[in-house]
Amino acid sequence: MRIFRLPGKLGVIAGKLKLKGKRVGLVPTMGALHDGHLSLMRAARRECDCLIVSIFVNPAQFGAGEDFKKYPRKLTKDLALCRKAKVDIVFLPESRDIYPEGFCSFVEVKGLGSLLCGATRPGHFRGVATIVLKLFNITRADIAYFGQKDAQQAVIISRMVKDFDLPVKLRIMPIARDQDGLALSSRNAYLGKEDRRQALVLSRALGLGRFLFEHGLTDAKKILLRMRQLITKQKKAAVDYIAIIDAETLKPVKKVSRGCLVALAVKFGKTRLIDNIII
């Protein structure tokens, strides 16, 4: 496993791989790796000749008062997991190399980036789209792997790829969950014992939404009300949003049909968690 810190040096290697006809797979991460990330790596390892994992806590996607400085950083463990997953290259850039002095260009996917999570995290998806585009360019990836847990991010990146005719295929992989149903997230490390216990209501609420639809209820407002009632029974739960939306436009629907996305964001204490299902 090789480690690169400078974008230029990795770019040279990536160019040589392309000349040799190698298929390059990219798994972009912010570190604090867990089984969800590893599931992406396994998929990439099966499909690609060269697997690149980036580990970069991207300051551009954190807003004022968010957890950039406290975001978990576990590099020694992360590298050990990458070796176990047979990663070929780990990209470990510094902020100054990704955003050098004078950097002033950003990617903004209008409309999609201001909904849902974007409504309470202004600028977040601008930062996400910018770093992902840079990673695509640096690594020359043929296929990039993302998790369905970050459903809005996946929709935004898909739109960016389409709009800019980027020569990369996206694989959006299923949500990885603990045995108790909690979606895996690096931020789960913030949860205290009671917060984590109460957070299990998220997967139960999503399951309730699916159950209601499968038993004939298609009125989105009524489904959302039942889900909200279940979540707010937990004393520490503070709902940011619960939405039933079109899986491509992210616009709310009045009548639920198969293929709709049910997404939510809820805080437990200071920890904000997201989760979703596709009906």
Catalytic residues: 37
Handedness of CA 156, 162, 165, 171 (dihedral sign): positive
Strand order in the sheet with 271-278: 237-245, 261-268, 271-278
Distance between CA 141 and CA 263 in Å, rounded?
29
Task: Dump the DSSP string for 59-100.
Answer: GGG--TTSSTTTS---HHHHHHHHHHTT-SEEE---HHHHS-
46: its two tokens: 């099966």
Distance between CA 41 and CA 28 in Å, rounded?
10
Q: For 102-114, what is the HEC assignment?
A: CCCCCCCCCCHHH
